[in-house]
Amino acid sequence: MLVIIGYVVICACVFGGFVMSGGHMAALFQPLELLMIGGAAAGSMFVGNNGKALKATMKALPTVFKGSAYTKEMYMELMSLLFDVLSKVRKEGLMSIEGDIESPEASPLFSKYPLVLADHHIVEFMADYLRLMVSGNMDAFQIENLMDNEIETHHQEGHVPAHVIAKLGDGLPAFGIVAAVMGVVHTMESVGIPPAELGILIAKALVGTFLGILLAYGFVSPLGSVLEQKLEESTKMFQTVKVTLLASLNGYAPALAVEFGRKVLYSTERPTFAELEEHIKKSKSK
């Protein structure tokens, strides 16, 4: 929603200011300039990226128009789930959660938390490391190292769409100049026509530069920033699980282990100790 609002503000201010200064919107409508800029940009994106990167980018782009899924409620569900799992382990032993981690969708523990269950990446991450804990063949240091490597891989993969979009935005002003130069070439070859018509051709050429810069800094490059922010938010979920499970492995009680996880959250989404405690109590009563 914020992306759409931002686009509306950009268009209203840029084109509204142009009209208020006496400009005519028809002068800015140059489909051939857009064809040159957009076509060249799309072609360069295909040249500079492999199929995997393009597929990831197409999949990530729709998410920029949606609000963040990583809300305070989401984090409280995650930490309540971790508390329930670790409490079950403490009372009944590690083998008691084997059925839960083998099929989280059918697990009564996981089913209580639909927001977490809907994120298959975090569920898979949690289940994998709980499975390693059940195996009992790895110590806390080995598991922490493996977690760090997986989180780094997740971050690198998630950075690909943001990088593709950022590169595309960087190239648009240059393609705007290309379109403008093509317009200037056309103008120079038409130098014998009346001055009024010559002025129209020059204006069309200048629109190419304008469109390239506006599309880059007003529309495309900001999407790369949004994707970066969403990546950081998703990574925080993995870090919360990591810190909580490691605290449990190091012998801390479930309530303290979850507190470790709570402390790594951003202040904007971090629940207070009392809020989390109340949420856990409500979850127990379900």
- Tally of CB atoms within 10 A around 91: 9
Lowest model confidence (mean pLDDT) among 107-111, 140-144, 196-200:
196-200
Q: Each residue of 23-50: pLDDT tens digit?
A: 888 888 888 888 999 999 999 999 999 9
Query: Band of the pLDDT at 286, cuts 50, 70, 90?
Result: low
Residue 188: predicted pLDDT:
80
Closest-CA residue to 70 (of 122, 112, 105): 122
Q: Each residue of 43-90: pLDDT tens digit?
A: 999 999 999 999 999 999 999 988 888 888 999 999 999 999 999 988
Q: What are phi and psi of 158, to 5 degrees?
A: -70, -25
Report the alpha-carbon distance of residue 222 to residue 218 in Å, rounded.
Answer: 7
pLDDT over 80 at 191, yes or no: no
Report the alpha-carbon distance of residue 107 to residue 105 in Å, rounded.
Answer: 6
Report the alpha-carbon distance of residue 85 to residue 79 in Å, rounded.
Answer: 10
pLDDT mean over 115-136: 88
3-state secondary structure of 72: helix
pLDDT over 80 at 136, yes or no: no
Please, what sign has the CA dihedral across residues 101, 128, 249, 235?
negative
Residue 285: predicted pLDDT:
64
Average pLDDT value over all residues in the chain: 89
The Cα-based distances of 186 to 189, 196, 203 in angstroms read: 5, 15, 12
Query: Band of the pLDDT at 109, cuts 50, 70, 90?
Result: confident
Residue 106: predicted pLDDT:
87
Which is higher by pLDDT, 95 or 225? 225
Cα angle for residues 191, 193, 194 (degrees, 5° grid): 120
Query: Band of the pLDDT at 197, cuts 50, 70, 90?
Result: confident
pLDDT mean over 276-282: 81
pLDDT mean over 255-273: 90
pTM confidence score = 0.82
Residue 159: predicted pLDDT:
93
pLDDT over 90 at 96, yes or no: no
